[in-house]
Structure 1
């Protein structure tokens, strides 16, 4: 930590900062994850210097900054940080985005965990910004072709496929057997109403 702080003050006017400094910052953020006072001091130093945007290209630094902001109740600051950071690991950034909103929802409802439905609703209400996923969120719906095949099977064969039939359908359509099982359960439920 002392070595990093000394290196940071020595290189405060260099633009861009040396790669060794950025690597050391990422390593320290990983090492100090369990030591909150030291991590907080490190995050403060990185976010307070002019090389802030360079540090935010490292996913470990981003994660540490988000962790500190969320622990201090600054959810909006954590979200803003994710919006303008330049880390390449977009999938992890989207996951962090959701974690921030889960934490906010847990605090709002005074609970220690969220049910899968609450998490789903939280994700729907707080979609990640375009800067985190420019191609948009992955659709969880099956393609028209897959739905058509499943509907055809339900109409022509049975709405209650046995295990072998489900496994065969799953193999043919590149799905998991549980996905096929759930599709048929939902299909039967929709047919009732």
Structure 2
């Protein structure tokens, strides 16, 4: 059997380039044939006005939209506080009290931990020296407390004596105040008599 009988002419293959060729692109003449956009004139109708540029669309992932979302949900403050905590200010570290459970003067002092650590890590001479040091501090604090109480008691006694002295002086001034009151009353009476006699004299002369 020949090749012509095996493949008839009606079923002949078409070229691949012709079957899958892309559609023709629009020519430059078609773009040139489109009408040009008329210029926008100004309100006076004389000079053409410039077109205002179209506003750019802010994408959902843009920096402006992200900042607005953070501000709305309060994420900016949280990040600022987190960054501030990660980078502490050197000046404020000195103002903050140190939290040390082994420091006797610290508010976070742990007596049990201090005692167990001191017993397990110190020798007998060190323990005796520490005892003497603590006893000296206790006596000093006790003396300061007694002095503070004595000073306050002394101030209270002095204030009480001052109040008593003021009361005695006030009682001695009562008689003087009575004398002044009588003198002012006499002055008022004499002033009233003088004004009356002066008015009568003026009426008699008239």
TM-score by length of 2: 0.21
By relative contact order (CA 8 Å, sep 6+), the higher-ranking structure is 1
TM-score by length of 1: 0.22
Larger Rg: 2
